[in-house]
Amino acid sequence: MMELMPDAAAALRASSLRVLADAQAGTGAIIASRTFSQYDYCWFRDSAFIAHALLVSGEHERAGRFHRWAADVVMRESDTIERAIADRRAGKPVDPSDILDARFRVDGSRGDEPWPNFQLDGVGAWLWSLREWVMTCNGGSAGDVADSVRLAGDYLAALWDQPSFDCWEEHGGQVHVSTLAAIYAGLRAGSDLVGEPEWRAVAGRARALALGAGASGGRLRKHLGSELVDGSLIWAGVPFGLLDPADPVMTATAHAIEADLTGPTGGIYRYLGDSYYGGGEWIPLAAHLGWYWAKAGQPDKARALLNWVESTATPDGLLPEQTLDAVQQPPYVKTWTARWGPVATPLTWSHAAYLILDRELRRARQDQR
């Protein structure tokens, strides 16, 4: 892929920032996609990455508005969360209604349609992102969100090893390694914010499980008991820090993602066998893999992925969720289009992931001068 000319790259950065701004409601919630009806919600996971993109782009106030909205939602759900914690500590099954939903309406209310909401990775990702914002903008003090941090941290510490839906909202009966990585990062971040040493001990147990039963053949695997590779495993290195980017297990995982999941046009599949809109090449995953390569000292690989992401932009500077040029299961393109319409464009997370990778590479260039 050709690198964009400076003016074109600047225009895409500006378009991306506009998409992020347009996606943020007055409450502070960040909508996954304004133009795709099924994504007219705020997900903790997506928005954790989006808030981080706002942070590194200098949009500190916008990032803070999201984090305060998320903290308010956690407190609003406190009775539900505390019941889940109590049941788990008592050795009882957690009632499916007593979990923190993965997505909420912009006013902080729950959706009323069936959805695979038990997704622990979103809570962990939010605590990681919140810590980054607090350390940059709030003097290192959790301040008025401390109670929310304590509640979210206790929730993760109690439920960390429970089977849940993965970040793709699938395989609800499994323990997913990228979820363990998000929990690890979230518990450590929460401990930094409110000083809970026990959470670090639980984070250590999550890491041990990920590197034990969650690894096979010298690399991480999609979930316990599976040999599949998943694009979300890259988060174990960057940004969640379960492993150092240079750790041999992390390096082997990144190479497996690159070898098994790179599509014919240069993007990254979620996993082999994916059928959602045919299983295309995902913009956020390509950008996140590029982010990893940048941190791992492989700027050429990171730049190639940035160039691919840029190549997927529409003429008016919008990035989709995935491309359909080289899908794994073509018949499903028609199936999903009939059900929900065209692929989400723009996807707010795609623009956020692009901004993070672009900034990482531009900063690296500056450091070399």
What residue ranges do the domains of the chain occupy?
6-368
Please tell me the distance from the alpha carbon of residue 122 to that of residue 235, in angstroms, as a whole number: 13
List 59, 101, 321, 358, catalytic entry:
321
Terminal-to-terminal C-alpha distance of the chain: 25
> Could you say which of 101, 132, 154, 166 is catalytic?
166
User: DSSP strand E in the chain: where?
Assistant: 42-43, 103-104, 215-216, 219-220, 268-269, 281-282, 322-323
Residue 285 has pLDDT above 70, yes or no: yes
Q: How far is CA 217 from CA 59, 163, 166, 177, 257, in A?
A: 42, 23, 22, 15, 14
Phi-psi map region of 269: left, alpha, beta (phi>0 left; psi -120 to 50 alpha): beta
Report the C-alpha gap between 153 and 278 in whole angstroms: 37
How many other C-beta atoms are found inside a 10 Å radius of the C-beta of residue 119? 28
Q: How confident is the model at residue 140 (pLDDT cuts 50, 70, 90)?
A: confident
Q: List CB contacts of 41: < 8 A, sequence separation 6 or more.
A: 31, 32, 103, 104, 105, 106, 111
Going by C-alpha positions, the residue among 209, 223, 127 that lies closest to residue 175 is 223
Averaged over 166-181, what is the pLDDT?
97
State pLDDT tens for residues 115-130. 999 999 999 999 999 9
Give the integer Cα–Cα distance in Å for 326 and 281. Answer: 7
Write down the mean pLDDT value for the chain: 96
At residue 17, does pLDDT exceed 90?
Answer: yes
pLDDT value, residue 367: 72
CATH class of 6-368: mainly alpha
| Confidence category of residue 369, pLDDT binned at 50, 70, 90 | low
The question of whether 321 is a catalytic residue gets the answer yes
Q: Could you give the percent of the chain with pLDDT greater than 70? A: 99
Contacts for 349 with CB less than 8 Å, ≥ 6 apart: 32, 46, 49, 50, 284, 321
The CA-based angle 346-352-355, given to 5 degrees, is 115
- Residues 346 and 2: their CA atoms lie apart, in Å, by 22
Q: What is the pLDDT of residue 4?
A: 84
- More confident: 116 or 365: 116
CA gap 199, 92 in Å, rounded: 21
- Write out pLDDT tens, residues 214-253: 999 999 999 999 999 999 999 999 999 999 999 999 999 9
Number of alpha carbons in the 13 Å side-chain half-sphere of residue 228:
19
Q: Single out the catalytic residue among 169, 170, 247, 258.
A: 169
| Dist. CA 84–CA 82, nearest whole Å | 5
Among 7-16, 21-30, 118-127, 135-144, which stretch is predicted with the lowest mean pLDDT? 135-144
Whether residue 166 lies in the annotated active site = yes
pLDDT at 366: 76
Which among 122, 121, 90, 128 is positioned nearest to 104, based on CA atoms?
Answer: 122
